[in-house]
Chains A and B, each alone.
Chain A
């Protein structure tokens, strides 16, 4: 992959993240639905033992809900691209 192809690939992912994430369905997912139908959804309400910086993909400080999601998606996509490339580089260096 040359530099141009890498950038195009990343841009496709960023477009999906920014423009489609605000349109995502907010209906419960398969597991949430099953948990709800079979009366154990309440067990998750104690929350995580971990305090995440951006819970539920809603970027803090942005009033518009859709924009908060879109910004989270955009930044998250960029950061995970960096993390995975970094990990792959690290593995490659370890082999050499």
Chain B
């Protein structure tokens, strides 16, 4: 759902830029506070994996395709703030080098996917992780949160399109949520598969599994 240039009106993309810049600033600061040596290569690998996986569009119904967003995957593995930083790096790189998403729309794309999708997704993960307990809650939380992260990001995208006057909110929201509710299933499957694998081989690397007291 990388928004290209031309869709958003100036007031929308400029506001989104301002909000994203502030939010990314906070995420950078918070990441600096919790950053440990072991997180440095992990942030690199997570960006590499998410960049690669975002290129793999899988077909869904109705002649449409979707790909991994990776926000919840990054947030559960690295913590919400470093996760948002990783997603932001990927989005900036995709925009500048590959013209995937517009430059004016970059603020909106960061807001939808790196900030709302990733931080919001992590909040949902945390709720389910706490309700269902450690092992079960980890998988259920990751699945539900990754699905929601795609749907919520798509909803914000729809809101920005509607404010830009492209289509009435009810219509564009319904269309965006409808298709991304299906893409979100792919998101949940990939997120759970990757996190289960890491949980098996190196559970000590997963931020979402480390107890709060041990994080800092």
Contacts and interface: CB of A to CB of B under 8 A. Distances in A.
Interface of A: 1, 5-6, 9-10, 12-14, 16-17, 20-21, 23-31, 33-35, 37-38, 40, 43-50, 52-57, 69, 72-73, 76-85, 87-89, 91-92, 94-95
User: Which of B32, B37, B86 is packed against the most chain A CB atoms within 10 Å?
Assistant: B32
Contact of B43 (A14, A37, A38, A87): A87
B14 interface: no
Contacts of A43: 6-7, 166
Interface of B: 1-7, 28, 31-33, 35, 37-49, 51-53, 55-59, 62-67, 82, 85-86, 89-90, 93, 95-100, 102-104, 154, 157, 161, 166-167, 171-172, 175-176, 179-180, 183, 202, 205
A27 B62 CA distance: 10
Contact of A24 (B45, B57, B96): B57
B106 to A, nearest CB: 9
Contact of B5 (A6, A34, A46): A46
Contacts of A31: 1-3, 154, 157, 176
